[in-house]
A and B are shown apart, each in its own frame.
Chain A
Amino acid sequence: MLDELRPMGLYQAALTLEIEPFEVVRLLTLANAVPESNLLICDATLDLIKDVGGIEQWWTDSPDQPDELVRAAIGILLDRGHIGERSARIDNLWRGLPVESQSVLQQAVHQLVQGGFLATMMHLQGVHVTVAPEAVDRLRAVAAGELSLSSLSPLLG
């Protein structure tokens, strides 16, 4: 019972946030909140890490089919307005999903970046992603299931 009340260690915090331990350290450094004793991270510090790192959980429910998953992810990016300069942390796109779904989305994002539909950039928060403004209409059509992108065909079948 007391275990529920103990502050997290570094690895536990990383598992909870779904980032790597040293990314936790990077964000703690950014927030000037590295614990002096035993690297124990309380709930408030965990919230601070989320805030500083722009770590969000976007998915509450996710489709099983890869094509539906990719369309849904594109829809989330557009609905949240992550277009042009309004970028977001890239791993928000797959945080909380099963490993297989994460892999599908990571490959899809790679293809979409290669095709110029999405752009990635380094940000204080970490690697960010955004929809290329000129690709908004086509990606809206993809999200609506009205358009298929040839660059995604090998991935989605």
Chain B
Amino acid sequence: MATPPLPTVVQALQGVALWQHEALASNQKQLEDVDHEVLQFEQAIRNLQEQIAALETFRAELGQQRGLIDDELTQRSYDAIFEALHAQHQALQQRSTLMGAAWGERDAALARLAEQSDVAPLLHEYQQFKTSVEPTLEMLPASYRDVIRAHHQGIVKQLRARVSDILEGVTELKAEALTFDVVYAIDAPEGPAELLMLVLPVSDTVQTRWTEREEDLQSHIAARAIHGLYAACHELGLGGAQAMYGGHQGMLAIEVELRGGDPDAIAGVLERALHNAVSISEELRGAGLRPTVFRVHVDHLLPPEEADMETLEMNHA
């Protein structure tokens, strides 16, 4: 049996060369695969970066839209508030007309008072004094004058008491309860309160043209609110405060300068004072009115672009 030939070195190295070829080929393949994957990942990253950039652009656009929504909110809130106030204003005008008619009946009752048996003699004496006695009073000695005047004052006192009984009685309207808002805002751009603004759903003519119109229920609503406003000012140490009055969309607007202070604390004092002022009013109760006090954001009561113009229209009273 022949002995197999011994491997030569050349042959042995051929095996190594084969291994090396295969190993290199495998390695090259892996490198190419990795490079390919790296390229794919790089492409994916570029795609994601582009998506991120697109999203950032979209986000910026959404941010701008947020500002527009805030602006829209201001305008919509302002419109909604004044739409409600206008509706209340119209209802209050009608209620004011009703109350005016009721007050007319009260005045008619006052006229009939003169016909009552216990009042007529007093009134006759009062009239006699005014027409006949008073013009000649200076010709009498002082002692006589004093006696006559004292007697006359007694007559006047009795008559006034009867008149007051009629006029000061509560006129109760047979009408549904009517709710309305006293809307206010406190401007405090730097933190401390600077300006208080109120709008009432009554005609601004109760102040701006008061000499040309009759005093009515709307005048009284405004007066009661202003009583509350000044009571709050006194409580807040603003005794010398002077409100400014003007019209806003035909309704009465009021401004008072504040000298600092916490807006929320001021709001608490104001709301309590306004509530007290309107709750003591018998004529508002008799008219079936149910006022509520409502605080709003200052921009929702007077949008910034209108503030300067409107403020200039306010007048000191």
- The answer, yes or no, to whether A21 is at the interface (CB within 8 Å) is yes
- In Å, the complex CA distance between A123 and B277 comes to 23
With A1-B123, A2-B163, A7-B167 as contacts: A34 and B282 at CB distance below 8 Å? no
CB–CB A38/B282 < 8 A: yes
Encode contact with A along B242-256: 1 for CB under 8 Å, 0 otherwise: 110100000000000
Inter-chain contacts of A37 with B (CB < 8 A): 168-170, 282-283
Chain B residue numbers with a CB within 8 Å of A9 are 215
- Whether a CB of chain A sits under 8 angstroms from the CB of B3 is no
Tell me which residues across on chain B come within 8 A of A59, comparing CB atoms: none
**Do A29 and B234 form a contact, CB below 8 Å, given A2-B159, A21-B207, A37-B282?**
yes
Map CB proximity to B onto A7-43 as digits: 1 under 8 Å, 0 otherwise.
1011110110000111101101110001011111010
Given A37-B283, A39-B283, answer yes or no on A21-B167 (Cβ-Cβ < 8 Å).
Answer: no
Query: With A36-B281, A39-B223 given, is the CB distance from A25 to B170 under 8 Å?
Result: no
Tally inter-chain residue pairs, CB-CB below 8 A.
105
Q: How does the 8 Å CB contact mask read for B277-317 relative to A, with 1 for contact and 0 for none?
A: 10011110000000000000000000000000000000011
Bound CA–CA A15/B231 (angstroms)? 24
Residues of B within 8 A of A39 (CB): 220, 223, 283
Q: Does A6 sit at the interface, judged by CB under 8 A?
A: yes
User: Hey, what's the 0/1 contact readout for B222-266 against A, CB within 8 Å counting as 1?
Assistant: 110011001100100001101101000000000000000000000
Interface range on chain B (Cβ under 8 Å from partner): 35 or more
CB-CB nearest in chain B for A29: B230
* Count of interface residues, chain A, beta-carbon cutoff 8 Å: 32
Whether B78 sits at the interface, judged by CB under 8 Å, is no
With a cutoff of 8 Å between Cβ atoms, the chain A residues found around residue B168 in the complex are 7, 37-38, 40
Q: Kindly list chain B residues whose C-beta atoms are within 8 Å of the C-beta of A66.
A: none
Note all chain B residues with C-beta closer than 8 A to A36. 280-282
- Which of B234, B280, B283, B317 lies in contact with A23, CB distance below 8 A? B317
Given contacts A29-B231, A30-B230, list 15 more A-B pairs with CB under 8 A.
A1-B126, A2-B159, A5-B126, A5-B163, A6-B163, A7-B160, A10-B215, A11-B210, A22-B243, A23-B317, A26-B242, A34-B280, A40-B167, A42-B164, A127-B316
